[in-house]
């Protein structure tokens, strides 16, 4: 009786071991690549319960989730002979589990290596200004080239992004000086354009005032009002000769001017011009 119980227990233990070896549970994002006696069974399995033949079938788990691959910093010489150190990040996922196991030994390491070599190759053909200002175009080129290389392995590269670009400190100082010079150039151009527009407006205003002398006098009075608004201890009033010219004419007619001086001479003297005396020949 004891021998029978031991035999039954042994059989149950063997059945339990075989059942444990033949049943696998796969998550939603996992697929199983099964080899039966070394031959690949067409079509991946999963998710859920997978039944295997013990000691005959061998299963390889493959994850279908997107993998974030950090590309190590690469030393690059740009097209305009500027040394730079560039690192990037790539996002890819497995779209064909069978090819990712059968056609490549380690698809993660292979994708990393092809990403590094492509990064150096593509960025070496670009100039530094392109590398700094047109990263989106370079990212698209990197993604297309890497995806073409990994497509036979059942890998789909969805995104490649350049993270950081390090350039020598001497080049950084040169770029800073260039940017400062560019800002100064723009400031001078804007200032010159402002002066040109102001001159055009002043010329138009002068044309309007020339047609009506009263406008000039009103502008003069407005300027005096603006000067008087400030609390100044000394105020210099510029007095246009045209404003007092009628008074000079009246004084000349009534003989109130200094002897031998005409109204024109008095006007020139008030303007500060040197008095012209007749030269005897």
Model pLDDT for residues 126-160, shown as the tens digit of each residue? 988 888 888 899 999 999 999 999 999 999 999 99
CB of 124 within 8 A of CB of 141? no
| C-beta of residue 217 within 8 angstroms of C-beta of residue 239 | no
Confidence of residue 237 (pLDDT cuts 50, 70, 90): low
Token look-up 């589990």 returns 97
CA-atom Rg of the chain in angstroms: 46
Assess contact for 142 and 89: CB atoms under 8 A.
no
Confidence of residue 267 (pLDDT cuts 50, 70, 90): low
- Location of structure tokens 């205003």: 205
Q: And the tokens for 63?
A: 């994850």
Task: Give the pLDDT band (50/70/90) at residue 281.
Answer: very low
Q: What is the pLDDT of residue 65?
A: 93
Q: What is the pLDDT of residue 280?
A: 41
d(CA 64, CA 158) in angstroms, rounded, equals: 13
Q: Please give the model's pTM, rounded to 2 decimal places.
A: 0.61
Alpha-carbon distance of 191 to 189, in angstroms, equals 5
Distance CA 37, CA 178 (A): 68
């Amino acid at each position: 009786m004891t021998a029978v119980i031991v035999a039954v227990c042994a059989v149950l233990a063997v059945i339990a071991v075989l059942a444990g070896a033949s049943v696998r549970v796969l998550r939603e994002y996992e697929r199983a690549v099964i080899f039966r006696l070394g031959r690949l069974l067409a079509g991946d399995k999963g998710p859920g319960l997978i039944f295997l033949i013990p000691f005959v079938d061998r299963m390889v788990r493959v994850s279908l989730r997107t993998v974030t691959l950090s590309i190590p910093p690469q030393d690059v010489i740009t097209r305009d002979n500027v040394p730079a150190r560039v690192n990037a990040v790539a996002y890819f996922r497995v779209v064909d589990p069978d090819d990712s196991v059968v056609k490549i030994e380690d698809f993660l390491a292979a994708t990393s290596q092809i990403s590094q070599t492509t990064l150096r190759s593509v960025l070496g053909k670009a100039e530094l200004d392109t590398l700094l200002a047109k990263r989106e175009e370079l990212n698209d080129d990197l993604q297309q080239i890497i995806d073409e290389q990994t497509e036979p392995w059942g890998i789909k590269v969805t995104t490649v992004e350049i993270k950081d670009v390090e350039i020598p400190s001497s080049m950084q100082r040169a770029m800073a000086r260039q940017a400062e010079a560019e800002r100064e150039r723009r400031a001078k151009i804007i200032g010159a354009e402002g002066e040109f527009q102001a001159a055009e407006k002043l010329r138009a205003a002068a044309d309007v005032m020339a047609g009506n002398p009263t406008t000039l006098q009103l502008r003069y009075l407005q300027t005096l009002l603006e000067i008087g608004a400030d609390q100044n201890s000394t105020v210099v009033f510029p007095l246009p000769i045209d404003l007092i010219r009628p008074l000079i004419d009246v004084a000349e007619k009534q003989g109130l001017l200094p002897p031998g001086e005409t109204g024109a001479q008095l006007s020139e003297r008030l303007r500060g011009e040197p008095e012209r005396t007749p030269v005897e020949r």
